[in-house]
Amino acid sequence: MQILLVNPPIYDFACFDYWLKPLGLLYIAGFLRKNNINIELFDFLDRHSQYLDKYIPDKEFSTGNFHKIKIERPAILKDFPRQYYRYGVDNNKFCDYIKENKFDYIFITSMMTYWYPGIEEIINSIREYSDAVIVLGGVYARLMPEHAKSLKPDLVFSSDINSLPEFLNKHTTLKGLKSYDYDDLLPAYDLYENNSSAAVFTQLGCPFRCTYCAIGNLNPVFRAFDHDCIIKMLDYLEDIGITDIAFYDDALLYKKKEHFFPLFKKIRDKNYNLRFHFSNGLHISYIDEQVIEMILSLNTGRIALSVESLSDSFHTSIDNKTDFKHIINGMDLIIKSDLLLKDIYVYIMGGIPGQTIDEIEKTAEFVHSKGFRILMNEFSPVPTTPIYASYQDKLTDPVLTGKSVFGPIFVNNVEKYQALKNKIKKYNREL
Ligand code: SF4
């Protein structure tokens, strides 16, 4: 039995590798290994893949540009005034690979729903050059199972990883698979030949219910992984030569006495040869002197803070994560500390319905005036959320939900929105 795991290419207007890794697929690799099944990985988004003709050097902290080619926009976006790209290893390399190697099953993962054209491309290539049974899973397959079926894989797996053994035992010739908890699995990063970064989770789900986010639908039960198991995973990642670890958790500081402090004390005491990035946005309301002290005691790279907006009414109606008082308090504590502001990015939200350009601009100006860099999180409506439901009739194709597309088309004036984005770029260059 031979299974190929595929992370497909991305079709989008912009994309940069901030530790973007197919973590769910790598856990599935760990699960298949535990069941003694032979696996291989073809990651189109591996920036150091042997299938790339040109070496693309890393930027800071093992981040970097993907190999990209210009492509035509989908017909539904023909009037959208931006260049569209395909990111990742060229398709002919993949076709040669599956012609030369026989696989019984090919598992394809998925992330953003609006990246589905990359999956369609891969499914078409597999149909042409391989007899393997195609199983499509991942976030897109979970959020839009009917649309995923329209791409014509053999099977769509639209549940969480815990149900995968049952699904495979029932629908495939893979019989008698044993199930394992996340704590018992290692994401199989060693499948990469030349990779120095890893994304990890220390928790599953999220205790918050921001109205624009589908995490609560994908993983309704919030729980932290066992700390000793996280340490075992970090030991493994260090052993295989990883240098940069990005925490994908959003609510890392929630119940910090039970999770953040004891876990990071253990991490600090291990004195790892690893650099840690809090890239998904630490909630600013939970920042205090002890959190800053812990971060300062670690080998830290990029730190992101989740602020989203200065407007209290934004937070009361959308995310309940913070308010103006806590934003000021958190920022001032950081400014007084020894943390380097140049390493800190503040996430602000842009393009969410109901939000004016003026409100985004005020937030950006304030964050800049405090000396922080700004990362504008451009809003993309996610299936299963209330905002998506309210636009569903207009969203006739998932590409219309793209983060570069939705705001300019449905929410904000394109020119004003672009001018604001340019202003934010200018602000960041000044720091
Ligand atoms: S805190 Fe983050 S992960 Fe949690 S619901 Fe809000 S956006 Fe989603």
Report CA(246)–ligand 1 centroid distance (Å): 17
Atom of ligand 1 nearest to the CA of 209: 5
pLDDT digits (tens, 9 = 90+) for 70-102: 999 999 999 998 999 999 999 999 999 999 999
Q: For residue 413, what pLDDT is reported? A: 77
Q: Alpha-carbon distance 37 to 29, whole Å? A: 9
Q: For residue 260, what pLDDT is reported? A: 98
Structure tokens that stand for 302 in this block: 């990029």
Q: For residue 252, what pLDDT is reported? A: 97
- Nearest to 366, CA basis, from 409, 427, 318, 295: 427
Q: Alpha-carbon distance 334 to 357, whole Å? A: 27
Mean pLDDT score, 367-373: 96
Mean pLDDT score, 45-62: 94
Q: For residue 342, what pLDDT is reported? A: 80
Q: For residue 414, what pLDDT is reported? A: 80
Structure tokens that stand for 101 in this block: 């190697």
How is residue 17 annotated by DSSP? Answer: B
Q: Alpha-carbon distance 146 to 156, whole Å? A: 9
Q: For residue 64, what pLDDT is reported? A: 97
| CATH 3.20.20.70 for the 203-430 domain, yes or no | yes
pLDDT for 412 beyond 90: no
pLDDT band of 408, cuts 50, 70, 90: confident
Q: Alpha-carbon distance 39 to 41, whole Å? A: 7
pLDDT for 170 beyond 90: yes
Report CA(75)–ligand 1 centroid distance (Å): 33
Q: For residue 211, what pLDDT is reported? A: 94
- Nearest to 355, CA basis, from 322, 317, 306: 317
- Nearest to 86, CA basis, from 66, 109, 106, 108: 66
Nearest CA owner, ligand 1 atom 6: 210
Q: Could you tell me the residue ranges of all domains in the chain?
A: 2-171, 203-430
Structure tokens that stand for 88 in this block: 């990742």
Q: For residue 55, what pLDDT is reported? A: 87
Report CA(24)–ligand 1 centroid distance (Å): 18
Considering only CA atoms, give the Rg of the chain: 21
Q: For residue 169, what pLDDT is reported? A: 95
Report CA(126)–ligand 1 centroid distance (Å): 35
Mean pLDDT of all residues belonging to the chain: 96
Q: For residue 107, what pLDDT is reported? A: 98
Q: Which of 215, 306, 309 gets mutated to test ligand 1 (max ligand atoms within 8 A of its CB)? A: 215
pLDDT band of 329, cuts 50, 70, 90: very high
pLDDT digits (tens, 9 = 90+) for 100-145: 999 999 999 999 999 999 999 999 999 999 999 999 999 999 999 9
Are 285 and 356 in contact by the 8 Å Cβ rule? The answer is: no
Q: For residue 431, what pLDDT is reported? A: 87
Q: Alpha-carbon distance 282 to 329, whole Å? A: 14
Which CATH code for domain 2-171?
3.40.50.280
Atom of ligand 1 nearest to the CA of 212: 7
Least confident of 155-164, 261-270, 403-412: 403-412
Q: Which residues line ligand 1 (CB under 6 A)?
A: 206, 208-210, 213, 215-216, 250-251, 319, 321
Q: How many CA atoms lie within 13 A of 409 on its CB side?
A: 20
Which position has the higher pLDDT, 322 or 417?
A: 322
Nearest CA owner, ligand 1 atom 2: 250
Q: For residue 296, what pLDDT is reported? A: 96
Nearest CA owner, ligand 1 atom 8: 213
- Nearest to 65, CA basis, from 111, 29, 17, 25: 17
pLDDT digits (tens, 9 = 90+) for 238-267: 999 999 999 999 999 999 999 999 999 999
Q: For residue 415, what pLDDT is reported? A: 86
